[in-house]
Amino acid sequence: MSKVKIEGHGTGTGTFTVTTPSSNTDRTITLPDSTGTILDNTSTLDATKLSGNLPAISAASLTNVPKDTTVGGKKNMIINGAMQIDQRATSKTGVTSSGYHTLDRWNLDNSGLGTFTMSRSADAPSGFYSSLKMDCTTAYGSAGGDDFNAIHQDLESYDGVSLGYGTSDAKSLTVSFWVKCSQTGTLQFNLVHYASSTRQISATYTINTANTWEKKTITFAGDTSQASDNDNSKGLVFEWFLASGTGRTSGGSPQTSWGAYALNKRNAGSTISIGDSTSDTWQITGVQAEIGSTATDFEHRSFGEELALCQRYFQILQDNAGYFAGNAVGSNRIDTGIPLAVPLRATPSFAANGYITHRSGNANSSTNQATVGSYNANSTTLKIRFGGHSVTDEVAYVISIASEDLLIDSEL
Amino acid sequence: MVITNAKYIKDVVTNENYAVSATIDGQGYNIPMDTGNRHYAEIIKQVADGTITIAEAD
C-alpha cells in the first residue's frame, strides 16, 4: 500500500488545519497521481493547465468579454463579401476599363493592364457558393509607369466612424478573405482612408499554392491621426492590387504603418502580376472586415439583406416594370416619381444604355433622356425628368421604361 | 475614370444647365450636377486639372 505523509514547512509558524464538513456520509477525495499544487481562487488557470473539451458555457454567464471579439451583430463592414449579388451582370468579357462591371460594390480599376473576363464564378471554398473571378484573356506586354490594375470596395464614411479613427482609442481592423490565384508569390493589399486628407496602410499576402483556395487574414492598427468623415462620402477603401507599372512600385516597400498617401508604395510589395499572361486567374470571396484584431467566422447575411445593402448604391428599374404617373413640363419633358427599393446614397447617374420611355398616347421618347429631378437622402421615391417627348405643358401622362432597363447609379 | 464627350444638359424651362452627359470608362451617363455623385465629382476634378472641358448644351 502507499504511504500518507503530512509534513509541515521548515520555516513557517502558522498552524494548518484540515477540517471536515458536518455530514453523516462517508466521503473520499482522490488526489491526482502527479506532483503539483492545489488551485484556489488566487491561482491562475492558463492553457497549459487545461486539456480535453470545456463544458458548454452560457454566453449570459460571460462578463468582461472584449468588444473587439464580439461574435454577433452586423460585424462585417464589407457589403457583398460572399459575392452573391450581381445586378449588372454575372459575367462580362473583354474588360479593359475601370468600373463596376459585374458583382455589386466591387469596383475594378484597370488602366489597360490586360483584358479580362470578370465574373461571378461558382468556384468557391467550402461554405461559399460564389467568388469574384478575374480571368486574363489578353495579356499586356509591358506596363506603363502609371498603369495599374486593382479590385477595390469603397466604404461609405458613415460606416467607418465606429472605428474611432482620429482618437487615441482608434480600433484595430481585421480583414479576412479567401483567395485563389494561378501564380504563387506575394500580392499587396491596401487600406486607404479618405477624409480631410488621404492616408494609407498596407500589407502583403502570399499565395502559397497555385490554384488552391487559401484564407488570408490581415490586421491593421487604427489610424489615430485622422478622424473619419461622418457623411455619405468615400471613407475607407479596401484595395487588392493585381498589377502595376513602376509608378506604384518605385517606393520600394509597402507602407506598413499609417501615413500620408504614397502612390509609389501602393503596389511595392507585390512579387507577381495578374494580367501579363493569359494563364492568369485571381479569385476572391468570403471577404470580411471587422473591428478588432481577430478574424472571426464569416458573417453570412440573407440574400435579401445583402441585396438591400447593395441597392443603396445601385438599383435597376426594369424595362416594362409598370406605368408611372407624370406631368408634362414644357413641350418635351414629363416629370414623374419612381419607387426605389431603398433610399440611395447620393443623387444618382443614369446609364445611357438605350432605354426609352413610352407614354400614354402611344408615343416613345428619344433614347437616354432621364435626368434626376430631385433627390432626398431619406426617400424611397425619386423624381425623374424624362425628356425627348412631344407633349402638352401641364397635361398628365403615364409613362413606362422600355427597350432597356433604367440603371440608377449612386455608387462611390 | 476616363471621361470623354462631356456636355451640359440645359433645362428648357429655366434655360439653365442642370446635368451633364458624358462617356465614362466607355459607358454613357446622364449625370446630376451634385458633388456627392462620383461621376460629377470626377468631372469637375478633371475640368479643374485641365484634363477635360464640358461642352455647352445644344
3-state SS, one letter per residue, for A59-125: HHHCCCCCHHHCCCCCCCCCCCCCCCCCCCCCEEEEECCCECCCCCCCEEEECCCCEEEEEEECCCC
On whether ipTM exceeds 0.90, the answer is yes
The pLDDT value given to residue A279: 97
The pLDDT value given to residue A14: 87
Q: Please give the Cα distance from A398 to A339 (Å, whole number).
A: 14
Site from A118, A349, A371, A385 to mutate, B interface, most B CB atoms within 10 angstroms:
A349
Nearest CA in chain B to A98: B25
Which residues of chain B from 34 to 53 reach within 8 Å of chain A, CB to CB?
Answer: 34, 36-40
Q: Please give the Cα distance from A176 to A189 (Å, whole number).
A: 11
Which of A98, A345, A368 has the CB atom closest to B30's CB atom? Answer: A368
Tell me: the pLDDT tens digits for B38-50? 999 999 999 999 9
Would an 8 Å CB–CB cutoff place B58 in contact with chain A?
no
The pLDDT value given to residue A71: 46
Nearest CA in chain B to A409: B37
Q: Is B30 helix (H, G, I), strand (E, B) or coil?
A: strand
Q: Is A147 helix (H, G, I), strand (E, B) or coil?
A: coil
CA distance A137 to chain B (A): 19
* A99: chain B residues, CB-CB within 8 Å: 24-27
Instruction: Give the number of other CB atoms < 10 A from CB of residue A309.
Output: 18
Q: Do A409 and B29 touch (CB under 8 A)?
A: yes
Q: Please give the Cα distance from A346 to A248 (Å, whole number).
A: 31
Q: What is the CA radius of gyration of chain A?
A: 30
Q: Please report, as a single letter, which amino acid is at residue A32.
A: P
A and B: number of Cβ contacts within 8 A = 70
Q: Is A69 helix (H, G, I), strand (E, B) or coil?
A: helix
Q: Do A232 and B36 touch (CB under 8 A)?
A: yes
Residue B40 DSSP class: H
Would an 8 Å CB–CB cutoff place A156 in contact with chain B?
no
Q: Do B25 and A350 touch (CB under 8 A)?
A: no
The pLDDT value given to residue A69: 47
CB B6 within 8 A of CB B55: yes
**Is the pLDDT at B24 greater than 70, yes or no?**
yes
Strands A131-138 and A370-374: unpaired
The pLDDT value given to residue A291: 97
The pLDDT value given to residue A66: 56
Residue A157 DSSP class: G
CB A361 within 8 A of CB A397: yes
The pLDDT value given to residue A65: 62
Q: Where are the beta strands (DSSP E) in A305-390?
A: 314-317, 324-328, 333-339, 349-351, 356-359, 363-364, 370-374, 381-387
Q: Do A332 and B1 touch (CB under 8 A)?
A: no
Nearest CA in chain A to B31: A349
For residue A279, the number of C-alpha atoms closer than 13 Å in the C-beta half-sphere is 6
Output the tens digit of pLDDT for each of chain A's 412 residues.
Answer: 678 888 888 888 888 888 888 989 988 888 888 888 777 878 877 777 777 777 777 777 777 765 554 445 689 999 999 999 999 999 999 999 999 999 999 999 998 899 999 999 999 999 999 999 999 999 999 999 999 999 999 999 999 999 999 999 999 999 999 999 999 999 999 999 999 999 999 999 999 999 999 999 999 999 999 999 999 999 999 999 999 999 999 999 999 999 999 999 999 999 999 999 999 999 999 999 999 999 999 999 999 999 999 999 999 999 999 999 999 999 999 999 999 999 999 999 999 999 999 999 999 999 999 999 999 999 999 999 999 999 999 999 999 999 999 999 999 9
Site from B9, B23, B24, B25 to mutate, A interface, most A CB atoms within 10 angstroms:
B25
Percent of chain B at pLDDT exceeding 90: 81
* B29: chain A residues, CB-CB within 8 Å: 349-352, 409
Tell me if the pTM is above 0.90.
no
The pLDDT value given to residue A20: 86
Residue A99 DSSP class: B
Per-residue cell: A401: 421604361
Q: Please report, as a single letter, which amino acid is at residue A203.
A: A
Residue B55 DSSP class: B
Q: Please report, as a single letter, which amino acid is at residue A74.
A: K
Strands A234-244 and A314-317: unpaired
Per-residue cell: A199: 492616408
The pLDDT value given to residue A77: 98
Placement of cell 468615400 in the chain: A234
The CA angle A120-B37-B56, to the nearest 5 degrees, is 120
Q: Do A352 and B28 touch (CB under 8 A)?
A: yes
Would an 8 Å CB–CB cutoff place B18 in contact with chain A?
yes
Q: What does each C-alpha distance from A336 to A114, A359, A398, B4 come to in angstroms?
A: 43, 11, 9, 29
Instruction: Give the number of other CB atoms < 10 A from CB of residue A2.
Output: 4
Nearest CA in chain A to B26: A97
